[in-house]
């Protein structure tokens, strides 16, 4: 496994922060990066150990040379099928027939090595719970996001400022627990990227951010072209705008995000399965809020869109669960309390978390989400919310 943690190299440049407040934010950021790097390294070690255990079982079943022969055959059949699709002969190719012939040749090779398709499938089935535990080591303690149009009454009840459209509305704190409104242009931004990939996967991302427009987005891709091995990958991508907030009293920060969807797509393609191949992929996108302070251990998340696939066949998925132009909202609480009278950095944006496993199958995963942060309302919560860290 290879993994790297890439956090933006600078804190947001906010004039409202004192030197001491900036020092505390930097301390929080260092601790956050160290904790997530440690968790990422632990997942990489667990994945490496499981991969070695699977290889040992395959060697026990086929022998070392037999396993190498199978891998060479799978790779050869993969590229042969691609060649058959090329013009001119590929223009009239019966893909179903060519695919069946490819699988039959691999099945015959397995029988010659003293094994069969069910033997390899059994290994995948028996190791699946361990893979699940690796996945579950990244906890998802998010709350659900909401559509404004379909939950208008709930939105109107959250804040007295919602009686008029916030981009043109006034308002401000009339009590200690009154809402403060933040709108574009925002002062700065922060991004992070946490990939993990076995040798067969490429994990890439593109951050889209325009703080003056309130635009944040993640284009996240995981690609495995090699359908002749057991591979694993994940990507956690965050893009956020930032602003300074001065809590009037000590307490938990409550945040209301009004976000307009610009793009929200899930795409997944699996290919070249061999009769014993298996695969699963999770894709999730969130709205998120964070407070960069040592007493806040991690961000708060609202799940906006997700898709899941588990298949043993070639498959193509395109899905849109949130619609361009529509408004959605999240109500979030900081995962720790901040001191009154001390300015803190609040960040608001989007997180993508994609994770996949491929046993002898090609996988091409892409999620593309962009949000306009129309408005953010912030206050010290009179209710207190729930203190529950939601970061790995």
Does the structure show a pLDDT above 50 at 295?
yes
pLDDT one-digit tens code per residue, 161-182: 887 766 554 556 666 788 999 9
CB proximity list for 177: less than 8 A, separation 6 or greater: 379, 380, 381, 382
Does the structure show a pLDDT above 60 at 3?
no
Which pTM was predicted?
0.88
Tokens representing residue 66 in the block:
């037999």
Looking at 29-43, 108-122, 126-140, 237-251, which range is the least confident one? Answer: 126-140
pLDDT band at 2 (very low <50, low <70, confident <90, very high): low
Say if strands 2-3 and 251-271 run parallel, antiparallel, or are unpaired: unpaired
Looking at 5-9, 110-114, 191-195, 231-235, which range is the least confident one? Answer: 5-9
Query: If you average pLDDT over residues 370-385, what whole number do you get?
Result: 89
Does the structure show a pLDDT above 60 at 357?
yes
Mean pLDDT of all residues belonging to the chain:
86
Tokens representing residue 306 in the block:
């997700």
Q: Structural domain boundaries of the chain?
A: 2-46+134-380
Q: Which residues pair with 269 in a beta bridge?
A: 316, 364
Taking the C-alpha atoms of residue 267 and residue 225, their distance in angstroms, rounded to an integer, is 16
Does the structure show a pLDDT above 50 at 215?
yes
Looking at 13-17, 126-130, 293-297, 305-309, which range is the least confident one? Answer: 13-17
Tokens representing residue 45 in the block:
């070690």
Taking the C-alpha atoms of residue 158 and residue 254, their distance in angstroms, rounded to an integer, is 11
- Dihedral pair phi/psi, residue 121, rounded to 5°: -65, -35
The fraction of the chain above a pLDDT of 70, given in percent, is: 90
Half-sphere exposure of 56 (CA within 13 A, CB side): 7
Helices (H), the chain: 19-62, 64-84, 95-112, 117-136, 152-158
Q: What is the pLDDT at residue 132?
A: 74
Decide: helix, strand or coil at residue 384. Answer: coil
The single-letter DSSP state of residue 145 is P
Which long-range contacts does 4-9 make (Cβ < 8 Å, 24+ apart)?
Answer: 4/193, 4/194, 4/195, 5/33, 5/36, 5/37, 5/40, 5/192, 5/193, 5/194, 6/192, 6/193, 6/194, 7/32, 7/33, 7/190, 7/191, 7/192, 7/193, 8/189, 8/190, 8/191, 8/192
Taking the C-alpha atoms of residue 317 and residue 308, their distance in angstroms, rounded to an integer, is 10
Taking the C-alpha atoms of residue 51 and residue 201, their distance in angstroms, rounded to an integer, is 14
């Amino acid at each position: 496994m290879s993994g790297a943690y890439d956090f933006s190299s600078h804190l947001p440049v906010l004039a409202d922060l004192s030197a001491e407040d900036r020092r505390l934010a930097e301390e929080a950021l260092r601790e956050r990066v160290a904790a997530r790097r440690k968790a990422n390294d632990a997942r990489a070690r667990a994945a490496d150990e499981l991969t070695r255990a699977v290889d040992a079982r395959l060697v026990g079943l086929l022998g070392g040379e037999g396993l190498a022969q199978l891998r060479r055959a799978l790779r050869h059949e993969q590229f042969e099928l691609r060649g058959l699709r090329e013009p001119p002969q590929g223009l009239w190719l019966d893909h179903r027939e060519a695919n069946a012939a490819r699988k039959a040749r691999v099945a015959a090779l397995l029988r010659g090595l003293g094994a069969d398709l069910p033997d390899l499938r059994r290994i995948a089935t028996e190791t699946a719970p361990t893979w699940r535990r690796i996945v579950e080591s990244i906890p998802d303690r998010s709350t659900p996001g909401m559509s404004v149009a379909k939950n208008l009454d709930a939105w109107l009840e959250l804040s007295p400022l919602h009686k008029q459209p916030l981009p043109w509305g006034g308002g401000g704190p009339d009590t200690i627990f009154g809402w403060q409104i933040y709108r574009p242009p925002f002062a700065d931004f922060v991004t992070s990227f946490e990939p993990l990939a076995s040798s067969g996967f490429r994990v890439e991302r593109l951050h889209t951010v325009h703080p003056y427009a309130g635009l944040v987005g993640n284009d996240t891709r995981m690609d495995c072209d090699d359908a002749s091995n057991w591979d694993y990958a994940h990507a956690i991508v965050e893009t956020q705008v930032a602003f300074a907030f001065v809590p009037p009293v000590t307490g938990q920060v409550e945040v209301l995000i009004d976000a307009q969807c610009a793009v929200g797509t899930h795409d997944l393609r699996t290919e070249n399965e061999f009769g014993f191949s298996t695969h699963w992929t999770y894709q999730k996108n969130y709205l998120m809020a964070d407070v960069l302070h040592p007493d806040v251990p991690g961000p708060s998340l609202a799940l906006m869109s997700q898709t899941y696939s588990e298949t043993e066949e070639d498959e193509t998925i395109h899905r849109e669960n949130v619609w361009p132009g529509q408004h959605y909202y999240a109500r979030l609480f900081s995962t720790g309390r901040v001191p009154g009278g001390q300015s803190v950095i609040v960040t608001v944006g989007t997180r993508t978390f994609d994770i996949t496993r491929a046993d002898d199958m090609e996988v091409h995963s892409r999620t593309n989400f962009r949000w306009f942060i129309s408005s953010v309302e912030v206050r010290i919560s009179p209710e207190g919310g729930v203190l529950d860290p939601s970061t790995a």
